[in-house]
Amino acid sequence: MDAILIQILNGLDKGSAYALIALGLTLIFGTLGVVNFAHGALFMIGAFCAVTLQKILTLSVTTIDPERTDFLGNPMKVQTPYVENWFGPEMGATIIDWAVPLAILLAIPVMVLVGFVMERGLIKHFYKRPHADQILVTFGLAIVLQEVIKYFYGANPIPTPAPSAFKGSLDIGVWLGFDPYSIIYPYWRLVYFFFAGIIIAGVFAFLQFTTFGMVVRAGMADRETVGLLGIDIDKRFTLMFGLAAAVAGLAGVMYTPILSPNYHMGMDFLVLSFVVVVVGGMGSLPGAVLAGFLLGILQSFASMNEVKSLLPGIDQIIIYLVAIVILLTRPRGLMGRRGVMEE
Amino acid sequence: MLGLERKDTLLLIAVAFITLFAPIILNPFPAGSALAQFNAGYPDLMQRFVIFGIFAIGFNILFGLTGYLSFGHAAFLGIGSYSAVWMFKLLSMNVIPAIVLSIIMAGLFALVIGFVSLRRSGIYFSILTLAFAQMSYNLAYSVLTPITNGETGLQLTLSDPRILDGASTGGLPVTSLFGAEMRDTTTLFVGPWSWDFSVGYYFCAVLMLLAFYLSVRIFRSPFGMMLRAVKSNQQRMNYTGLNTRPYTLAAFVISGMYAGLAGGLLAAMDPLAGADRMQWTASGEVVLMTILGGAGTLIGPVLGAGFIKYFENIFSKINDGILHQWFAFMPDGLENAMVAVIHPFIGKGWHLTLGLLFMLVVIFLPGGLVEGAQRTGRLFRRRDKNADHVESDAARQRAAAE
C-alpha cells in the first residue's frame, strides 16, 4: 500500500508540470485554433525568469574590510549583495533565499508581455493557414527562443535552489499510520503540487465564474456567433494567449528547484505535453489536466522495479504507448468534444 | 529520355552534372587562401550533402505529395544505420548487402508504423509518428542495448564473425564496394586548387541520382497524382468511393525506405550507429530541410539538405577573428560594433540564424527556396515584358508623330 502511495506522490510533481503546460496549450488551441509548438519555450522562459531574478538579487558590491585579513595578510575583499546593504543582512539573505517564489512576481508581467508580442506579432497571421504551417512556424520560433536563451545563459544547467524553509522532506507515512520513513516526500514537490492545483483552479474559476470567462467560453464554442453579437472576441482571445503563456511560465518558475533550468528543457517537456494534450482530447481543458496527472502517475508506476523486471524498458515508453493506444481506440482523446480536429 | 518529359530530363541532367562535379564546384577557392574555409568540397561533408539529400527526397515524397507531416522519420534513419552496421559485423564489409538490409528493415518498420499511424491524419498523425520515433529512441538507448549497444553506439570490433570476409588481419576492416575502399580519396592539384575525389562520395552520389530519378518518376506517375489528390482533399476522394489508405501507406513505406537508405549510407561511410540518430530533433531537421528547400518540389529537398549541412559545417566555423578581417576596412569603432552585432548569429549561434531563416521562409515563402527562385525569375521576366511594352509604346508614339 505504501509503495503504491509513494508512486502516486512521485507522479504528482511531473504530472503537475505536464498538466500546467497542457492546460496552456489547450487554452491556445481551444481559443485561437493554433497548434503552438513554441509552448515548451514559454515554459523555459519562465524558468529563466527565476534564474534572472536570482542573478539580479545576488548582484554584489565589493568592499574592503580593513578589520579582517585574508591568508596573505592583506585586507579582505568582501562581496555583499546590494540587497543586503539596502535591507540589512538578515532581510537581504532571506530575500535572496526566496528568489524562486519571488520570481513569480517577475514572471507574470514578463510572460504576459511575451505572449502578447508572440500573438500580435506572429501567430495572428497564421489563423487562416493550415495547421502544418502553424506547427512549422512555432517550431522555428521555439528554436530561435531556445538559442537566444543559450546565448545569454550558456548551455549548462543553472542551479536555482528552493528557499531553505522548503529544503528537506516530509515523512507523510507517519501521518497515515505507516512505519516512519516509509513514505518520504520533499517539501518543494508538495509545494509544486499545491501551486499547480491553485493555478488550475484559478484558470477554471476565471473561465467559469467571470463574465469575461463566459464570453471566452462562448467564443470557444462558436466564434462567429459571438462576433456577430458585437463582441470583440479577438481581443479577448489575445488576452487568453497571454494567460496561457503566463501559466506555462509560472509552471517553469516553480519547477526550477526540481530541475535546474537549461536551454533545451522546453523542448523536452513540449513533446510530452503534446502527447498529454492529444490523450486528453484536443481543446478539452479538463481533459488536458486529467491526462497530465494520469500520465505523470503512470510514468512513475512504470518506473517501479517490480514493473520494470516484468516488462523491461516500460518506464521509457509508457507515455507514448498509452498515447498510441488512446489515439487508435478513442481518437477524440479522453474528454475531447465531438468534431474538434476530427477528420 | 528515360521516360521523362523534356523539362524533367533537363533538371535530372543538371542535378547529375552538379553532383558529379561537386568536388570541383564546391571548392571554388584555392587551398590556403583566406576564403578556403568556405570550401565545402571535402569528402566527409559532400557525403553528408548527398546522404541527407536522399533523406529529404524521401521525406518529400510523403510530406510534399500527401501533406502528412511526419515528426518521426529519423527512426527509419536510425534503423537503417543499425541494420547496416550489423551486416558489417556479421556478414561482410561489402556495402551492398548492408544497404539492401537497411532499406528492407526500414521498409518493414515503416509498414508497421505507417499502418498504425495513417489511421489518423493531421496533427494526430504527427503525434503518432513522433510517439513511435521517441519509443524507438528510448528503447534503443535502454532495453535494446544488446542490439544497439546503448549509449556507446554500435561499432565494429575485431572479434566480429564477418562470415564472408574470413578472419581479418591487423586493424579494423574498412567498408568497401567489391574491393574499392569507401575512404579512398584521390586528390587532384590544379594550380593552387586541390580537389578531393572520394570513392565513398561517388557511391553515395550515384545512389542519390537514382533516388532522385525515382522520385521524379513517382511525382509524374498516376500514383503521384493520386497522392496529390489526397493532399488537396482526402474527404472528397473517400466520397468517390476510393480507399486512399493503400496509397498513403505506399508513400509512407517508400519514404521510410529512402530514410533507411540514407541511414545505411551513413553507416557505410562511417561504420557506427548511435541512438542519437533517432531522436526527434533529427526528425525535426529533415522537416527543416524539406520546408526550407521547398516541400512538394522536386529539387527543393536536395537544396534544403545542402543548405542546412553547409550551414552546420561551414557557417558555424566563422568566428570573430574572421569578422574582424572582413570589416577591417571600416573605422575601428564601427568595425567593433559590426562584429558585436553579428556575433550572436555566427559560429556557435548558427542555430539561431537557421531558426530565423526557417521562420522567414515559413512566413513569407511557403514554397521554400525554390519558390523564392521562381519569384525572382518571374520578377525579371515581367520587368523585361514591361520594358518591351514601354519600347513598343514609344515606337507607336513615334510612328504616330511622324
Residue range B136-187, pLDDT digits in tens: 888 888 888 888 887 788 888 877 777 777 665 667 777 778 877 777 788 8
Q: Look up residue A147 and give its three cell numbers.
A: 538559442
pTM: 0.85
Query: B227 and B41 in contact (C-beta within 8 Å)?
Result: no
Q: Look up residue B316 and give its three cell numbers.
A: 558555424
Residue B385: per-residue pLDDT: 59
Nearest to B362 among A136, A148, A328 (CB): A136
Q: Please compute the mean of the pLDDT values over residues B64-69 and round it to a whole number.
A: 90
Q: What residues of B are in contact with residue A327 (Cβ under 8 Å)?
A: 120, 124, 127-128
Whether A93 has a pLDDT exceeding 60, the answer reads yes
Q: Cα(B402)–Cα(B398) distance, rounded to whole angstroms?
A: 6
Q: What residues of B are in contact with residue A274 (Cβ under 8 Å)?
A: 127, 130
For residue B94, the SS3 value is strand
Nearest-5° angle of CA B275, CA B148, CA B43? 60
Tell me the percentage of chain B whose pLDDT exceeds 70.
Answer: 93
Q: Which of B256, B246, B255, B259 is nearest to B115 (CA)?
A: B246
- What are the tens digits of pLDDT across the range B179-224? 777 777 888 887 777 788 888 889 999 999 999 999 999 999 999 9
For residue B273, the SS3 value is strand
Helices (H), B270-365: 280-293, 300-313, 320-326, 332-342, 350-364
Question: Within chain B, what is the greatest distance between any pair of CA atoms?
Answer: 95
Residue A324: per-residue pLDDT: 85
Residue A136: per-residue pLDDT: 85
Q: Cα(B197)–Cα(B192) distance, rounded to whole angstroms?
A: 16
Residue B400: per-residue pLDDT: 55
* Cβ-based neighbour number of residue A71 at 10 Å: 6
- What are the tens digits of pLDDT across the range B232-289? 888 888 898 888 899 999 999 999 999 999 999 999 888 888 888 888 888 888 998 9
- What are the tens digits of pLDDT across the range A157-192? 888 888 887 877 777 777 777 777 777 788 888 888
* Cβ-based neighbour number of residue A164 at 10 Å: 11
Question: B134 and A320 in contact by Cβ < 8 A?
Answer: yes
Length of chain A, please? 343
Please, what is the average pLDDT of chain B?
84
Q: Look up residue A195 and give its three cell numbers.
A: 501551486
For residue A151, the SS3 value is helix
B143 in contact with chain A, both atoms CB, cutoff 8 A: yes
Query: B47 and B305 in contact (C-beta within 8 Å)?
Result: no
Burial category of B327 from C-beta neighbours within 10 Å (exposed 0-12, middle 13-18, buried 19 and up)? middle
Which amino acid is present at B197? F
Q: DSSP letter at B188?
A: E
Residue A32: per-residue pLDDT: 82
Residue A204: per-residue pLDDT: 92
Q: Please compute the mean of the pLDDT values over residues A123-128 and round it to a whole number.
A: 85
Q: Which residues pair with A77 in a beta bridge?
A: A64
Query: A166 and A97 in contact (C-beta within 8 Å)?
Result: no
* Residue A325 CA to its chain's centroid (Å): 26
Q: Look up residue A107 and give its three cell numbers.
A: 514572471
How many helices (H) and strands (E) would you count in chain B?
16, 6
Inter-CA distances, B274 with A240, B75, B90, Å: 43, 11, 18
Q: Any idea of the CA torsion for A226, A232, A235, A239, to the nearest 10 degrees?
A: -50
Q: Cα(A175)–Cα(A9) distance, rounded to whole angstroms?
A: 14
Q: DSSP letter at B401?
A: H
Q: What is the enclosing helix (H) or strand (E) of A341? A: none
Q: How far is B113 from chain A (nearest CA, A)?
A: 11
Q: Which of B68, B126, B64, B15 is nearest to B290 (CA)?
A: B64
Q: Please compute the mean of the pLDDT values over residues A131-139 and round it to a whole number.
A: 85
B389 in contact with chain A, both atoms CB, cutoff 8 A: no
Residue A334, φ and ψ in degrees, nearest 5: -65, -50
Q: Which residues contact B146 (CB under 8 A, 6 or more apart)?
A: none
Interface of B with A in 161-220 (CB under 8 A): none
Q: DSSP letter at A125?
A: G
B115 in contact with chain A, both atoms CB, cutoff 8 A: no
Q: Cα(A144)–Cα(A41) distance, rounded to whole angstroms?
A: 9
Q: Cα(A270)–Cα(A251) distance, rounded to whole angstroms?
A: 13
Residue A343: per-residue pLDDT: 47
Q: Got the DSSP string for A46-106?
A: HHHHHHHHHHHHT-EEEEEEEEEE-TTSSEEEEEEEHHHHHH-HHHHHHHHHTHHHHHHHH
Whether B116 has a pLDDT exceeding 70, the answer reads yes
Whether B77 has a pLDDT exceeding 90, the answer reads yes
Q: Which residue of B has its CA nearest to A136?
A: B362
Q: Which of B273, B253, B224, B250 is nearest to B84 (CA)?
A: B273
Tell me the percentage of chain B whose pLDDT exceeds 90.
Answer: 26
Q: What residues of B are in contact with residue A135 (Cβ under 8 Å)?
A: 69, 123, 126
Q: Which of B100, B70, B79 is nearest to B248 (CA)?
A: B70
Query: A80 and A288 in contact (C-beta within 8 Å)?
Result: no
Residue B384: per-residue pLDDT: 63
Q: How far is A329 from chain B (nearest CA, A)?
A: 10
Query: A58 and A82 in contact (C-beta within 8 Å)?
Result: no
* Residue B221 CA to its chain's centroid (Å): 23
Burial category of B372 from C-beta neighbours within 10 Å (exposed 0-12, middle 13-18, buried 19 and up)? middle
Q: Which residues contact A158 (CB under 8 A, 6 or more apart)?
A: A51, A260, A261, A262
Q: Please compute the mean of the pLDDT values over residues A89-93 and round it to a whole number.
A: 80
Q: Cα(B212)–Cα(B303) distance, rounded to whole angstroms?
A: 12
Which amino acid is present at A220? M
Interface of B with A in 337-366 (CB under 8 A): 344, 349, 351-352, 354-356, 358-359, 362-363, 366
B286 in contact with chain A, both atoms CB, cutoff 8 A: no
Residue B126: per-residue pLDDT: 86
Q: Where are the domains of chain A?
A: 2-60+99-329
Class of domain B6-298: mainly alpha
Q: How far is A288 from chain B (nearest CA, A)?
A: 15
Question: B287 and A139 in contact by Cβ < 8 A?
Answer: yes
Q: Cα(A246)–Cα(A242) distance, rounded to whole angstroms?
A: 6
Question: A327 and B124 in contact by Cβ < 8 A?
Answer: yes
Q: Where are the domains of chain B?
A: 6-298
- What are the tens digits of pLDDT across the range A208-248? 999 999 998 888 888 888 889 888 888 888 888 999 999 99
Q: What residues of A are in contact with residue B116 (Cβ under 8 Å)?
A: 324, 328
Q: How confident is the model at residue B398 (pLDDT cuts 50, 70, 90)?
A: low
Whether A110 has a pLDDT exceeding 90, the answer reads yes
Q: DSSP letter at A259?
A: S
Q: How far is A126 from chain B (nearest CA, A)?
A: 8
Q: Please compute the mean of the pLDDT values over residues B18-39 and round it to a whole number.
A: 79
Q: How far is A131 from chain B (nearest CA, A)?
A: 7
Q: Which of A102, A101, A85, A84 is nearest to A93 (CA)?
A: A84
- What are the tens digits of pLDDT across the range A139-156? 889 989 988 998 888 888
Q: Look up residue A5 and give its three cell numbers.
A: 502511495
